[in-house]
Structures are given as structure tokens and as C-alpha cells.
Amino acid sequence: MQLRDNGLRFSPITVALHWVVAFSLLAIFGLQLLINIAASEALQLQLGRLQNLVGLVLFLVSIYRFWARITSYHPLPVGTPNPIEVIISRSVAVSLALAMVLLPIAVWASRCAAGEVVELPGGWWIPSILPVNESLKHVVDVLFNIGASAFLAGLALHIFGAVKNHFLLKNNTLKRMLGKHVEL
Amino acid sequence: MDQDRLDFAGNAITRLCGVQYPIFLGGMAAISGPQLVAAVANAGGMGVLGGLRLPPLTLRRWIQETRALTDRPFGVNLVPQFGGPDVFEAQFQVILQEKPKLLSLFYAEKYAADMIPRAKDAGLIVMVQAGSVELANIAIAQGADIIIAQGSESGGHLNRGTIGIMPLLTSILAVCEGRPVLAAGGIAQGDDVRALMSLGASGVVVGTAFIATDESNAHPLYKQKIVEATTDDTEYRTGYSFGWTYGTPHRVIPNRDKWNLLRFIGGGARAIDKPRMAEKLSLYAGQGVGKIHSVVPAAERVAELARGLERLPVAELAATGRFLQEPRRTLGWQ
């Protein structure tokens, strides 16, 4: 099995982890919605723990993904896109991978600075090594909001690119990320 | 066009490659496509497809399209950039299967020791472009049949260093062990061909002058910029150019628009690109750009370059060398 990406194709690991990350993100957003409408505080806590677990998985997977992305060749683009589009799309992909490493760290740092414990299901928790500090929390929250906004903008561009390639240009860009072997 | 053809007796390179004139098209990525390569080949020169950045399937299609347009020999240029070694190997496999007459390599020192013997075993002639004597020596040791001495006057990508074509050509000729050496850099007219062949080059490689031809894949605005640019207008850079490792030297017509970040990127604009690509990028061009005044058919460009293969009439030779016969005047301080 091909373990790393090369100029001709993505590895099955990259394809699998791409969708693990995509569904983890969806799960985090979905859980946040459920937390907001949960009837009891106990349910909110339970969902919050699950959300923290998904965030932890996302963080760990994203460390590998970011490392793999910057140390492997990116497969050649499908079709004949202009060079600027290629530069932008690849920069966005790398930035998204980096953001999914940094944003969970920011969430954890903010909770630590607020004196909250990041709880996980089964009575587990993530250790807090930062001091309780209101100013620190404020700084981290500001940075998180900036990063999250940029991340959402990048994600929108990423999805737009995928949709454009699939429906407008009718090429195999999206199918390649769904595991289809595309001969270049 | 045939009636205008020069009756060139041929030399080592034309006999080796099976072409009429020792005039080679530079294998410019995306620009040197099947139409241009076939036009140059049909006009008696050696067309070279720009294989850089071409996925293997497209490379195969381009070779087949070129074959459909000409029965003359042509080559393919490969550069192991953009996509890494797997893409390079896949492109090479296409070359081994399709067997064009010539394989041209650039920036391929890491792979060439293995690749050149494989290509030669498959019956291909292998040509390596070198911007320094050290790189030429490496290419010779690796078995290259032809060396291109690429002077820093050249447009597009260069090796590290800024050696002009005259010292580079003569230095490489001194170490080439009898191999043919082609000259590249700033060649746009017959006079340039004559000058470099009189220094010992077996032929020339021309890029920029062929961008401004009807058959090139360049965007019309790119061709127009080539036509409008003067000799003073190119710049040697070591910043970013699309698809290449940051810092790879290249020569461009720099874009000077103040609020345009794309001007820091070197590139070539294809006919299929949007006009703003040609308007915003700093476009590849060599120092011969000032001598290109119109977009013409490639055959006309080949004919103009081939004019430099004519023997100079005796009277003209005498005129050229007249300064040698002038009496030496003594200056006051001598």
C-alpha cells in the first residue's frame, strides 16, 4: 500500500484521514448545536465531554496530516488550472491542516486559563498546565476568534473549489479525494 | 517556404539528429506544444516539446499529436520539478515507450546517471543543458550525447551562476571530449547563430524568439510583450517562479505594477490562461528579446536563424575584419 502522497496520487491514508477530519469537524459543529439546545446541564456536560474527545482526535490526526502534507509531494492538479489557482488551493489546504492543529490548542489553553478542566468521557481529562489567568484567557480567545474566522473562510474556499471542480469543470478532483484512481 | 531554404551542408549535430539545420527549439514548459514543435521540425529545425509539468497521459498525447503533424525527428524536454521523482519517472516511462528522437534534460543531475543509459539503450539521443562547466562535466561523465551551454542571457530558468554564453561555450568546448555543444542564450537572429557557431558551437537552442510565433502556446498578450520589450527590459531573478523550488534563477521581463503581488512570480502565460495572467506575472524572456519585432510563423523564424548558417561572402568577410587591417594609431600617452 502506498503510505505517502506522491506527484501522481494521494495515499489511501491521506484520503481516509481527510474524511475523518471532515466528519470530526461536522461532529464538533453538530455537538455544539446539541449542547446549545440541551434541556439539562447533565446532558450538556455529557455532550461537551464527547465534543472534547472528538476535538482531541481531530488534533492528533491533524498533527500527522500537517506533517505528511508539508513533507510529501502534492499530486499534480487534474485538468489544466492556472498556476495562481494551484498556488492558492495548495496554500489553503496546508493552512487548514495547520489550523486544525492550532485551534484545538487554543481551545485547551483558553479553558485552562479560565480554570476549567477539559473533560473526556469515562472520567478522563486533559491535564491543565497553564495558570488560571483572565488576561491570558482574553488573549487566547482573541487569537482563537481570528484563527477560527480565517479557518472558516479557508474552509469555504476549499469547499467552493471542490464543488466548482466537480459540478462546473466536471473533472475528477473530488472523486480523487473519494478514493477513485485517477490516471494522470 | 521551401524555395527560400538554405542549402546547408550539415554538421555533426544535424547528422546525429537527422535534421536539416542545427537550430533547436527550447523545450519551454506549456509553450513548446505539438503545433510549434511540428512547425519547427517541418521547417528543418529540431522541435523540442516542453514536458515540464505535463502529467504523463498529457505528455503521451502531445507526443502523438506532434507525430500526427510531422514525420520529422523531434525531442522532449524533461525537468524533475513539480511533482517529484514519481512524476519524473512516469514521464520517463512515456518517453521510453514513445521513443522521440531526442531526450533533453535540465536540472536532472540527481537522476541522469541512471536515466541517460536507459534512454540511450532505448535508442534515444540524450542532450543535457548546463549553465556551468561543472554541470557540463557531470553530464559528460553521465554519458550525455549533446551538451547545451546555457548562457545567463537565456530566458526562463537557469542554473545557479551568471556565466555569459561566450565564456561558457568556449569553456565547455574545451572539456566536451568531441561531443557537439549547442549554444543557448540571447539568440534571436541569424547573426547570433553565425557568431556563436564561429566560436565553435555545433548549433543553437532558441526559446524566446519562438514564443513570438503563430504556433506557440503562449498567450497573445505574452507574445505582444515579447515584441514590445527592448534588450534592456529583462531581469535576472532568484525569487519564486511557478512550479520551481524557491530561489531557482530565472530571467523575466519584470512586471512593474505597484499594487500587484503576482509581479514577484516568474511565469509564462498560456493561450488558455486568462489575460490577467499575462498582465500580472513577470514573464520569462531572454536578452535577445530586443531583436524580436513581430509575431511570425515558426518556419519564418527558423529561416531567419538559418540565415546565420550561410557562408559570408568574401567581400563581407573583408568588411567584417577591416579593423584588423587598419593602421594602428598611436595615442598621445602611448
Asked if residue B60 and residue B138 are part of one domain, the reply reads: yes
Which residues of chain A have a CB within 8 Å of the CB of B274? 82
Look at residue B3 and tell me if it is in a domain.
no
Which residues of chain B have a CB within 8 Å of the CB of A171? none
Query: What are all long-range contacts of A110-115, with beta carbons under 8 Å and residues at least 24 apart?
Result: A110/A137, A110/A140, A110/A141, A110/A144, A113/A137, A113/A140
Asked if residue B241 and residue B96 are part of one domain, the reply reads: no
The answer to whether the Cβ–Cβ distance between A7 and B277 falls below 8 Å is: no
Give the per-residue pLDDT at B1. Answer: 47
Asked if residue B153 and residue B126 are part of one domain, the reply reads: yes
Residue of B nearest to A7 (CA): B83
pLDDT higher than threshold 70 for residue B215: yes
Break chain A into its structural domains and give their ranges. 12-177
CATH number for position B56: 3.20.20.70
Burial of B271 (0-12, 13-18, 19+ CB in 10 A): middle
Give the per-residue pLDDT at A81. Answer: 82
Asked if residue B163 and residue B148 are part of one domain, the reply reads: yes
Using alpha carbons, select from B154, B151, B156, B211 the residue that is nearest to residue B181.
Answer: B151
Asked if residue B279 and residue B300 are part of one domain, the reply reads: no
Gap from B78 CA to chain A (nearest CA, Å): 15
The answer to whether the Cβ–Cβ distance between A7 and B243 falls below 8 Å is: no
Lowest mean pLDDT among A71-80, A141-150, B65-74, B292-301: A71-80
pLDDT higher than threshold 70 for residue B128: yes
Which residue range(s) make up the domain with B263?
220-287
Element (H, E) at B104: strand B102-105
Cell of residue B89, nine digits:
519517472
Asked if residue B184 and residue B249 are part of one domain, the reply reads: no
* Backbone torsions φ then ψ of A73, nearest 5 degrees: -70, 145
- Which SS3 state, helix, strand or coil, does residue B182 take? strand
Q: Does B87 touch chain A (CB under 8 A)?
A: yes
Asked if residue B42 and residue B94 are part of one domain, the reply reads: yes
Mean pLDDT of B169-180: 96
- Of chain B, the percentage scoring pLDDT greater than 70 comes to 92
- Of chain A, the percentage scoring pLDDT greater than 70 comes to 100
As beta bridge partners, residue B103 has B76, B126
Which residues of chain B have a CB within 8 Å of the CB of A75? 83
Mean pLDDT of A64-80: 92
Gap from B217 CA to chain A (nearest CA, Å): 13
Asked if residue B234 and residue B102 are part of one domain, the reply reads: no
Mean pLDDT of A80-95: 90
Quickly state the pLDDT bin for B322 (edges 50, 70, 90). very low
* Cα B103 from Cα B63, distance rounded (Å): 12
Q: Does B267 touch chain A (CB under 8 A)?
A: yes
Asked if residue B194 and residue B88 are part of one domain, the reply reads: yes
Look at residue B231 and tell me if it is in a domain.
yes
Q: Does A82 touch chain B (CB under 8 A)?
A: yes
Look at residue B334 and tell me if it is in a domain.
no
pLDDT higher than threshold 80 for residue B11: yes
Gap from A80 CA to chain B (nearest CA, Å): 9
Mean pLDDT of B2-11: 73
Size of interface A-B (CB pairs under 8 A): 46
Query: Does the ipTM exceed 0.90?
Result: no
The answer to whether the Cβ–Cβ distance between A82 and B277 falls below 8 Å is: yes
Half-sphere exposure of B281 (CA within 13 A, CB side): 28
Give the per-residue pLDDT at B318. Answer: 47
Look at residue B321 and tell me if it is in a domain.
no
Asked if residue B179 and residue B45 are part of one domain, the reply reads: yes
B292-315 pLDDT per residue, tens: 999 999 999 999 999 999 875 555
Which residues of chain A have a CB within 8 Å of the CB of B283? none
Of B83, B242, B265, the CB nearest to A73: B83
CB B19 within 8 A of CB B180: no
Asked if residue B165 and residue B255 are part of one domain, the reply reads: no
The answer to whether the Cβ–Cβ distance between A80 and B272 falls below 8 Å is: yes
pLDDT higher than threshold 90 for residue B175: yes
pLDDT higher than threshold 90 for residue B329: no
Structurally, chain B folds into a number of domains equal to 2
Asked if residue B185 and residue B142 are part of one domain, the reply reads: yes
Interface test with B, best of A6, A10, A69, A76 (most B CBs within 10 A): A76
pLDDT averaged over chain A? 94
